[in-house]
Structure 1
Amino acid sequence: MSAQTKHFFSDPTHLVHTALQSLTFTNPSLALDLENKIIFRRPDSLTKKKVAIVSGGGSGHEPAFAGFVGDGFLDASVAGTIFASPSAEQIRKAAIDCVDNEQGVLIIPMNYTGDVLNFGMAAEKARAAGIKTEFFAINDDAGVGKKKGGKVGRRGIGGGIMVLKIVSALAETGASLEELHRIAQLANSNLATVGSSLEHVHVPGRAPSEDTIPEGEVEIGMGIHNEPGSHRAKATLPELVKTMLYQILDHNDPDRAYITHQSGDEFVLLINNLGGVSTLELSGITYEVYHQLERDYGIKPVRIIQGTFLTSLNGLGFSASLLKLSDTGLGPGKSFLELLDAPAEAVGWSAPIRPSTWERRTDAPVELKKTKLAEEQPSNLKLDLPVLKKILGGGLRRVIDVEPLVTRYDTIVGDGDCGIGLKRGAEAILKLLEDPSSNLTDDVIHTVNRIVTIVENTMDGTSGAIYAIFLNALAHGLREQDKGTTASASATIWAEALKYSIEALGKYTPAKPGDRTMIDALVPFCTTLRETKDIHAAARASQEGTEATKSMKASLGRAVYVGSENEWVGKVPDPGAYGLSEFLTGLANAF
C-alpha cells in the first residue's frame, strides 16, 4: 500500500485559502480575515456578552478548527499552513481585533510545541494589551505513554473537540473566564484518546513520504501529523480495538493511567474519522468499540458521537475517545453532558440526537406489527389447479429448453447471463408447481403471489427486477377485479390485469416497444390478448415483436454499447424478448 498522492489541488496555499472562504458560504454568521487566515463570528451575529473562545492550529485537520466557529461554539479560529501552527501575530489579531473580548478571552489550542509557543505568545500579548486572558493546551492522547511524551506531555487529538465544545457551551451561559479555565482542565483530566491508522497521509504539493506502513499492519497511537504511535502491529479490527481500549482504560499501567474508572462511572464515547475512512467502515468501527466497552469493561456510554471532527487530511484511520463525566460544581445546566448536548451552529459539529431521545434509550425488543403478506390474503378468483399447472408448466419447460439459444444470443449482444437467469427462475417455479407439499390452491392471486416470491429470490439483475415488478402488479391487477363472489379467472380478467401490469411497469422503466428489450415481446402479447381474448393470437404477436427486434438499435441495456456495424444486426433478436416470447408460446401451446 502506498500513500494516496492524488489531489484536486496542487497548490496548498490556494487550497487553504479557498477552504476558509467556503466556510463563509456554508455559515453566513461567519467572517474571514483572509490575510491572517482567521475565521470569526460576525459582530452582528452576537446576541450576548460573554468570554470569547479562540482556538486554531495547522490546516489539514478540517473541520477542526475553523469548522467549529459559530453560535454555541468557538468565537474565532486561526489557521496555519498545512500541519503548521499559525503565527503569534495571526493569533494576536484574532484575540484582540476579531472577537468581543470585554469579558475576557480563553485561548485554547492543542498541545503541540509550535501551537503552544505561538498561541502562548499571543496570550501574553493580549494580557499586555489589558485583556483578561487565560491559556490552556488540550492534551488527550493516551497512545503514547508518559515516558515517551516526556516534558512535552500528551498530544492534543480527536477527543479535544469535546473539551472545546464544553468550554464554548459554558461560555454561552455567562460563566467567568476563571470558571472556563478550570473546566477546560477538569474535562481534559477526565479524557483519553487513542488513534490508529493504516497509512501515512500525503500533503498536497509535497513529495510522497518514503516511509509507508506495510500491508497488513496498523500504526497504533498514530498522531495527526504522520507522527508515529506506540507501535505497529498486524491486527484485525477487534484486536486493534482491544489494544486501543486497553491503552485508554488500564489505570494499572503507570505509564498511561490518565483516567481511572470504576463501577457507576459514566462516559461519553467519541469516534473520530481521521479523514479517509468511509462512513460505512466508521460505523462498523463504532459498533466494535461499543461492543467491547460493554463486554470487557461494563461501560455503556451515555452518549455515542460518531463523525469527522479532527482529521489528518485523508488519513486512513480513526481515533476513539472516552470522556468520564465529572461534577463541574457549577450547578444545573452546566454539567459535562448538558454542555455537550447544548445546541451549536457550527458546520463541523455533528451530534444531532436530542437529549430527550437519549433519555428514552431502551434495550427492550421492538415488536413489529404483523401485516398479512399478499399471498396470505385469499381471493375469489379461481382457476382449476391442474389446468393452471399444465399451462404454466408448458411455458416454463419451453424456457428451460431454449436456454442455450438465449444464452448464445445474450453472449453476442449482452453479458451472457439472460438465459441462465430465465432458466433458474423457470426451474424454481416448476418445482413449486410439481411439489405436492407446496399447498397451492385454485386461488389464482394466491398462486401468482407465491410465484412472485420465487422470482424475487431466484432471478437477479435487471430482467429479474422487471419480472418481479410486473408479476406484483399482475397480482394487484387481478385483485382489483375480485368482486367478492367466486368467479373464474377468464381471458377478459387476465387481459385487464395485464393492462394494469404494463402501465405499472412504465412507472419504473422507460423501455417502450421499439427499444429492443423484452417489452417488445410483452406489450404485443398483452395488447393482442386484451383485443382478441385469443392467447394463440397473443403469442404470435409476441413472436412477431421479438422478430422485429433483430433490426432495432438498442436504446436500453448493455446492447446499447455494441456498435451497429456488428454482424449480428438483423440476425439476432433481443435475448430477453426471445426468452419471454418462447415462454408465452409455450403457454399458448399448452392451453
Structure 2
Amino acid sequence: MSSKHFINDPTKLVDTACKSITYTNPNVAFDAENKVLYLRPDAAPSQVSIVSGGGSGHEPSFGAFVGPGLLSGAVAGTIFASPSAEQVRRAIFSRVDTSKGILVVVMNYTGDVLNFGMAVEKAKAAQLNCEMVVMGDDVGVGREKGGKVGRRGIAGTVLIHKIAGALAASGASLKDVHKAAQTVADNTVSIGSSLSHVHVPGRAAVEGEEELKQDEVEIGMGIHNEAGASRAKADLPTLVKTMLEYLLDQNDKDRAFLNVSSSDETVLLINNLGGVSVLELGGITTEVVVQLEKDYGIKPVRIIAGTFMTSLNGLGFSISILKATDLGVGKSVLELLDAPSEAAGWAAAISTKTWSQKPSQTRDTGAGTGGDNKPCGFQFDPKHATKALNDALNRLIKAEPDITRYDTVVGDGDCGIGLKRGAEGIQKYINGTSEQPDAALYLDKVIEIVENTMDGTSGALYAIFLNALAWGLRQQGNGGSKQITPDVWANALNTAMESLAKYTPAKPGDRTLVDALAPFVEQLKATGDVQKAAQAADEGSKSTKGMKASLGRTVYVGGSGFEEVPDPGAYGLAEFLSGLADALK
C-alpha cells in the first residue's frame, strides 16, 4: 500500500480524528488528555454504560460508535496499539454513567485484554458494578495455532456493540446486557482477506518487506498486518468459497467454531477493511450472498455491508456470520440490531418493518418505453436510407484507429471505441429489421441504439441531438404523408442545434464535435446541399488542429498535444458526415 499520507504525524492524526467525531455527532464529547470519546450526560437517559476501544486505525470503530443506542464510551490507543489501563480507568470512572453498571467490550489481543482487564478490576475494587466480554471471532486463527491465546477479535465485534448498546438503551440490567453480549460473542465467526499490507503513518517504509504479489491474496490477514492463514492466487468466487469454508465447514475440526444450518436465522456482515471501493464491496456482497444460499442453503435474515472496522486503508474485506440464537433477555438479536441509534459510524439504516415486510413489486414493464412515439408524416425509402447510413457508418468505423490515436494524445483514449461501438450497434439494427418509411420513427430506433451502446459525454451529446432532431421532424409534420426534403432535414437539424445549446455551452472554436456539427447544419440550411455541408464539417474538424480546448477532458489533460492532432470527436463526426454525403451523391 502507499506510504504517502496527508497527515504523517501519528499523534496529531489520532487526536484530530477523535476530535472530528464531536463535530459530526453533537451527542459526543472528547477527553483529549486520555483520548476518550464519551456520550454527553444529557444525550440519553441513565442506563448501563457500554465501553469499548483499542488501537486507532480501525475507524469508524470505536469512537464513531459512541452515541445513543450504541457505545457510551470509547478509548483510543495510538495506531494499532492498546490504550493504557489508566486511560481505560479514566473512561470508566469519570466519563460514563456508572449508576446502572458498566459493560466493557474488548477484542482478544493481549494488550487490550490486559489493559482493559486491569481497569475493570480497579472498577470492581472500587465497588462499581462492572463486567467484561472478550471477543474472539476470527477463524483465520484455528484451535491449534491459537492455543491458549484463542482467536483474534475482528469485525464481528461491532455486532456486540450494536446489540448490547440497544439492550442497554432499553433499560435492561447489567446482568442481561452482559449475558446478551457474551451470547453474541459465542455465536459469531469472522474471516478477512486482503490484497496488501498497510502502511502506518509516521513509520518508515521497511525496505525489502515481503509484500503480496500482484495476483496474490492473503486469507485470514489480521487487522494489524498480522499474517493470515494462507496466501493464494484466487479470483473472487474462489476466494469467497474458501472463506465460507473456513467459517462453516464442520469437517474442519481446527476451525469448526460455530455450527450453522439452513434452518438457523443468521446475520451477515460484509466489512470493508478500508481500501475497497463502495462499488467493489457491492460486488463482493453479492458474491457472498449468492454462494451462501447456493452452497449452504443459508439465507441471512439481515445483510449488513459497509465500513465498520478497518485496518487503516487495508485493501481487503471480512465476512462475519452471527447465528441469531435466543439471547434469553426478552428481546431478540434482530430487534436489537434494528433498533435506532445515533452514532456516526453505524451505517445500517433499514428498519425491522422493511426487513419483515419486504416490498416485492417491480417495474419491469411500464410507461416510458418510447412505444407511443407518433410518426412525423415525412417519408423516405428505408432501403436507400439504410444503404447511405451503412456507408457513412463504415467510414466512421474505418476511422476508429485514428480517432483513438488522437484521443490518446488529448483525452482518455475512449472516443474512437465509443463511436465504433455505437456505429456497429446501429448497423446491426438497420441491416436486420429496419423497414420503417417514416423518418422520425426510423430515427427513434437509431436513437435507442445510441442511448444503449454509447456512453460518456459524446454518447449523451449525440442522444440529446438526435432526440431533438426527431422532435424537429415531428414539429414540421402536418399529418398525411409526403416525401422528406433537404429543407425539412435542415430545419429539424437547426431545432436540434438549439436544443443541444441548452445542455452544453460548446460553440465553434471550443475544440469539440460542435466544430464539425455547427458548420454542417448552417451550410445545409443555407444551401440544401449535403455535399457542401459535409465539406464545411470537414473544414471545421481540420480547424481544431492547434486549437486550445475550452471544454471537455482535453482542458484537464494539458500539454501540447492539441497542436498536433484535431479534436477526436469533431474528426469522427466529419468522417461520418463525409461518408453520408458520398453515399447520397
**Would you say 1:356 and 2:376 are equivalent positions?**
no
Instruction: Report the counterpart of residue 103 of structure 1 in structure 2.
Output: 100
Q: Given the alignment, which residue of 469, 475, 485 partners 1:474?
A: 469
Deviation at 1:399, TM superposition (A): 5.1
Deviation at 1:220, TM superposition (A): 2.4
Q: Which amino acid aligns with 1:218?
A: V
Instruction: Report the counterpart of residue 306 of structure 1 in structure 2.
Output: 305
Change (3 A) 1:184 1:403: closer
Instruction: Report the counterpart of residue 297 of structure 1 in structure 2.
Output: 296
Deviation at 1:303, TM superposition (A): 0.6
CA–CA distance in structure 2, aligned partners of residues 296 and 577 of structure 1: 52
1:227-242 to structure 2, matched below 5 A, reads 227-242=226-241
* Structure 1: tracts of 5 or more residues without a match: none
Partners of 1:529 and 1:535 within 8 A in 2: yes
Instruction: Report the counterpart of residue 145 of structure 1 in structure 2.
Output: 142
Instruction: Report the counterpart of residue 153 of structure 2 in structure 1.
Output: 156
Partners of 1:553 and 1:564 within 8 A in 2: no
Instruction: Report the counterpart of residue 44 of structure 1 in structure 2.
Output: 42
**Would you say 1:27 and 2:25 are equivalent positions?**
yes
Tell me the alpha carbon deviations over residues 275-319 of structure 1, each in whole angstroms, 9 at most, x when there is no partner. Answer: 222223322222222222112211111011111111111222222
CA–CA distance in structure 2, aligned partners of residues 457 and 257 of structure 1: 49
Between stretches 290-299 and 451-460, larger displacement belongs to 451-460
Partners of 2:546 and 2:565 within 8 A in 1: no
TM-score (norm 1): 0.86
**Would you say 1:196 and 2:193 are equivalent positions?**
yes
Q: Secondary structure at 2:238's aligned position in 1?
A: helix
Deviation at 1:456, TM superposition (A): 5.2
Deviation at 1:323, TM superposition (A): 0.6
Instruction: Report the counterpart of residue 379 of structure 1 in structure 2.
Output: 375
Change (3 A) 1:367 1:461: closer
Tell me the alpha carbon deviations over residues 161-208 of structure 1, each in whole angstroms, 9 at most, x when there is no partner. Answer: 101111100001100011111111111111111222233222111233
Change (3 A) 1:579 1:400: closer
Deviation at 1:574, TM superposition (A): 6.1
Deviation at 1:265, TM superposition (A): 1.0
Instruction: Report the counterpart of residue 575 of structure 1 in structure 2.
Output: 571
Partners of 1:409 and 1:574 within 8 A in 2: no
Tell me the alpha carbon deviations over residues 308-358 of structure 1, each in whole angstroms, 9 at most, x when there is no partner. Answer: 111111222222111111112233xx2111101111111111112222222
Instruction: Report the counterpart of residue 222 of structure 2 in structure 1.
Output: 223
Tell me the alpha carbon deviations over residues 148-172 of structure 1, each in whole angstroms, 9 at most, x when there is no partner. Answer: 2222222211111101111100001
1:383-532 to structure 2, matched below 5 A, reads 383-385=379-381, 389=385, 392=388, 396=392, 435=431, 438-455=433-450, 463=458, 465-527=460-522, 529-530=524-525
Instruction: Report the counterpart of residue 555 of structure 1 in structure 2.
Output: 550
Partners of 1:61 and 1:310 within 8 A in 2: yes
CA–CA distance in structure 1, aligned partners of residues 414 and 320 of structure 2: 49
Instruction: Report the counterpart of residue 11 of structure 2 in structure 1.
Output: 13
Deviation at 1:31, TM superposition (A): 0.7
Q: Secondary structure at 1:108's aligned position in 2?
A: strand
1:119-134 to structure 2, matched below 5 A, reads 119-134=116-131
Partners of 1:413 and 1:562 within 8 A in 2: no
Partners of 2:397 and 2:423 within 8 A in 1: no
Tell me the alpha carbon deviations over residues 497-523 of structure 1, each in whole angstroms, 9 at most, x when there is no partner. Answer: 222211222233321023244323432
Between stretches 441-450 and 388-397, larger displacement belongs to 388-397
Deviation at 1:57, TM superposition (A): 0.6
CA–CA distance in structure 2, aligned partners of residues 191 and 118 of structure 1: 24
Change (3 A) 1:554 1:215: closer
CA–CA distance in structure 1, aligned partners of residues 415 and 147 of structure 2: 67
Instruction: Report the counterpart of residue 135 of structure 1 in structure 2.
Output: 132
Q: Which amino acid aligns with 2:30?
A: L
CA–CA distance in structure 1, aligned partners of residues 157 and 408 of structure 2: 60
Deviation at 1:542, TM superposition (A): 5.2
Tell me the alpha carbon deviations over residues 60-106 of structure 1, each in whole angstroms, 9 at most, x when there is no partner. Answer: 11111111101110011000111111111111111111112111111
Tell me the alpha carbon deviations over residues 86-134 of structure 1, each in whole angstroms, 9 at most, x when there is no partner. Answer: 1111111111111121111111111211111111111122223332211
Deviation at 1:543, TM superposition (A): 6.5
Tell me the alpha carbon deviations over residues 526-547 of structure 1, each in whole angstroms, 9 at most, x when there is no partner. Answer: 3455566676775676567567
Deviation at 1:398, TM superposition (A): 10
Instruction: Report the counterpart of residue 328 of structure 2 in structure 1.
Output: 329
CA–CA distance in structure 2, aligned partners of residues 307 and 404 of structure 1: 41
CA–CA distance in structure 2, aligned partners of residues 408 and 241 of structure 1: 38
Q: Secondary structure at 1:499's aligned position in 2?
A: helix
Alignment RMSD: 3.7
The count of aligned residue pairs is: 579
Query: Which has the higher Rg, Structure 1 or Structure 2?
Result: 1
Instruction: Report the counterpart of residue 286 of structure 2 in structure 1.
Output: 287
Deviation at 1:418, TM superposition (A): 7.5
* Structure 2: tracts of 5 or more residues without a match: none
Partners of 2:64 and 2:345 within 8 A in 1: yes
TM-score (norm 2): 0.87
Between stretches 415-424 and 506-515, larger displacement belongs to 415-424
CA–CA distance in structure 1, aligned partners of residues 317 and 3 of structure 2: 20
Change (3 A) 1:378 1:244: same
CA–CA distance in structure 1, aligned partners of residues 404 and 263 of structure 2: 69
Instruction: Report the counterpart of residue 318 of structure 1 in structure 2.
Output: 317
Tell me the alpha carbon deviations over residues 35-77 of structure 1, each in whole angstroms, 9 at most, x when there is no partner. Answer: 100001122322x121111111111111111111011100110
Partners of 1:499 and 1:526 within 8 A in 2: yes
